[in-house]
Amino acid sequence: MKLAFSTLGVPALPVPDVIRLATDHGYHGVELRAHPEEPVHPGLDLARRKDAARRFADAGIEVLGVAGYPRVAAPGEDGPVIEEIRRLVDLAADLGARHVRVFPGAGEGRSAGEADATAARRLGTAAEYAADHGVRVLLETHDSHPAGADAIRVLGRVGHRSAGALWDVMHTWLAGEQPAESYAALAPFLGYVQVKDIASAGDRTPLALGAGVLPLAEVVEVLSRHGWDGWLCWEYEKRWYEDAAPLPELLTAGRDLLSRLLTESA
């Protein structure tokens, strides 16, 4: 498996500095948070996109994915949501990234059936566009659909290989799923896996990998046992927790922990 980290942990850091962190600490790739406050986002012109892509390629660092914020199960018209995803797909393609992250985001008061149908309809349309650009749109296990069992209710209805799943191990754990259950549900659709660590269900302040309660060893063991050979991406949510320790000082130890877990589960 290859290791990446999300730029959510280093808010608004310029591309050359992101690349330096990845190379200095032994990561193979990065997930780019695609928000207007970040250096790389859908409003970026083509020249700057090409420059960023060239910098990553020259350094041998892969842009694993573009982490966007469309909410595919939310109420409202389909058009704006699909257009937001298309803009993210365009950005990913220009950067050479293979994945775009979206959220469910059904919100309060929607039935599961209505939310699932909305999300599947939008993902199906977006997947056709993504396929033409060599990109997959990944539904993250998050908010209204935190478990693998929730995500596959949507993805099973889409039935398009350019629509997949992003397994956020915190949210499936909070939903009460065991790693083996989450993997069994998500395996046919799995794009990559987001790892992280927290103190408890009631305190989600990000911690160094291995310092909290999330079942990281079990996740890696399940993936290895089934021969899954994709990406583990450390999403350290520093952006939302200002008092959390800076990510750069944790990166080497995080890489070492994941490498050890991979070796032990081989």
pLDDT in tens, 109-150: 889 999 999 999 999 999 999 999 999 999 999 999 999 999
The closest alpha carbon to 234, from 212, 217, 213, 250, belongs to: 250
Sketch the domain layout of the chain as residue ranges. Answer: 2-265
Q: In this predicted model, what pLDDT tens digit does every residue of 233-251 receive, in sequence order? A: 999 999 899 899 999 999 9
pLDDT recorded at residue 241: 93
Cβ atoms of 136 and 163 within 8 Å: the answer is yes
Residue type, 56: F
Q: Are strands 190-195 and 163-168 parallel, antiparallel or unpaired?
A: parallel
What is the C-alpha separation between 153 and 118, in angstroms, rounded? 12
Beta bridge partners of 203: 200
Provide, rounded to the nearest whole percent, the portion of the chain with pLDDT above 70: 100
State the average pLDDT for the chain.
97
The Cβ of residue 37 has, within 10 Å, a number of other Cβ atoms equal to: 9
Q: Tens of pLDDT along 173-215?
A: 999 999 999 999 999 999 999 999 999 999 999 999 999 999 9
Q: What confidence tier does 108 reach under pLDDT thresholds 50, 70, 90?
A: confident
3-state secondary structure the chain: CEEEEEHHHCCCCCHHHHHHHHHHHCCCEEEEECCCCCCCCCCCCHHHHHHHHHHHHHHCCEEEEEEEEEECCCCCCHHHHHHHHHHHHHHHHHHCCCEEEEECCCCCCCCHHHHHHHHHHHHHHHHHHHHCCCCEEEEECECCECCHHHHHHHHHHHCCCCEEEEEEHHHHHHCCCCHHHHHHHHHHHEEEEEECCEEECCEEEECCCCCCCCCHHHHHHHHHHCCCCCEEEECCCHHHCCCCCCCHHHHHHHHHHHHHHHHHHC
Q: pLDDT grade, residue 266 (50/70/90)? A: confident
Contacts of 212 (CB under 8 A, 6+ apart): 197, 198, 199, 200
Identify the CATH number of the domain defined by range 2-265: 3.20.20.150
Which residue, chain included where needed, has tokens 């790389």? 40
